[in-house]
Amino acid sequence: MEQVSESRSFGGRLTVHRHRSGKTNCEMTFAVYLPPAAKKGPVPCLWFLSGLTCTHENAMTKAGAQAHAARHGLALVFPDTSPRGEGVANDEAYDLGQGAGFYLDASEAPWSQHFAMASYLTDELADVLTGNFPIDSARMGVTGHSMGGHGALVLAMKNPDLFRSLSAFAPIAHPTKSDWGRKQFAAYLGTDESAWAAHDATLLLRERGWARDVLIDQGLNDEFLDLLRPDAFAAALVETRTAHVFRAQEGYDHSYNFIASFMEDHVRWHADRL
């Protein structure tokens, strides 16, 4: 693993790393923030999964999580949103291909050669983190924004032993009924829609459930509300009697200004549970 950069931040360390992934068959980049408490021993860790068009860098520079993580003694990890590189399949549209991995393992060509973000994160990056950083493997939580909120909800429900706390910012919550989902699932998973349900947070909650609680923030002035379908996920939370805090935030849009405004609450949510 190669260290690309290192910066001091709120008394801790923000580093960027590149490594060869056996799951995505290419070089992957991620960032890690270690709080001052990590100097004394392993700390819990919050993963932040970013949205469409993002790299590891967007949340690292715009979400404002490091100050809160330093205070709560929480490490942060910012993975990339897809495999990347010249030999990696791509599309001209911003919402398919590089920067739009949708946190799943593609089964269809040409995507299946590299697009394996679900197993990259849960089977490979999780081990890279605990093997190379003072991070406690038994105390990890996950959050994310938009496509990354979809990733957080789906990956936590499928891996409750890995991710022990859960929240999301404006997640793509019902992708099988949205143009942020149907197009990508058809490309990555094929046109047989029966394979899609396992990647839809609303359907997965009804099918598999989430035994802990979940925090969701959603801006009411979000320009993508029709694509996100928070209404469907909120209904499923009530139907399945899942413990939750669902906050509809008046006036907030889909941007990192929204995320940064509520990041402190999300970091505290995870710190209290880890």
Per CB under 6 A, residues contacting ligand LAXINWYW are 51-54, 58, 62, 94, 145-147, 254-256
Q: CA torsion 201→207→210→215, rounded to 10°? A: 30
Query: From the candidates 17, 68, 244, 254, which is the catalytic residue?
Result: 254
CB of 241 to ligand LAXINWYW, least distance (A): 29
- Which tokens is 233 given? 């996920």
* 72/145 with CB nearer ligand LAXINWYW: 145
Burial class for 217, CB neighbours closer than 10 Å (0-12, 13-18, 19+)? buried
CB of 68 to ligand LAXINWYW, least distance (A): 19
* 34/155 with CB nearer ligand LAXINWYW: 155
**Does 254 qualify as catalytic in the annotation?**
yes
CB of 132 to ligand LAXINWYW, least distance (A): 27
Beta bridge partners of 45: 75, 140
Tokens 């019902």, located at residue: 174
CB of 252 to ligand LAXINWYW, least distance (A): 14
* 2/226 with CB nearer ligand LAXINWYW: 226
Query: From the candidates 222, 244, 266, 270, which is the catalytic residue?
Result: 222
- The beta strand positions in 22-122, using DSSP E, are 26-34, 43-49, 75-79
Residue 105: DSSP 8-state = B
Decide if 227 contacts 31 (C-beta within 8 A). no
| Whole-angstrom distance, CA of residue 237 vs CA of residue 202 | 8
* 3-class SS of residue 84: coil
* 44/79 with CB nearer ligand LAXINWYW: 79
Query: From the candidates 21, 50, 82, 146, which is the catalytic residue?
Result: 146
Question: Which residues are identified as catalytic?
Answer: 146, 222, 254
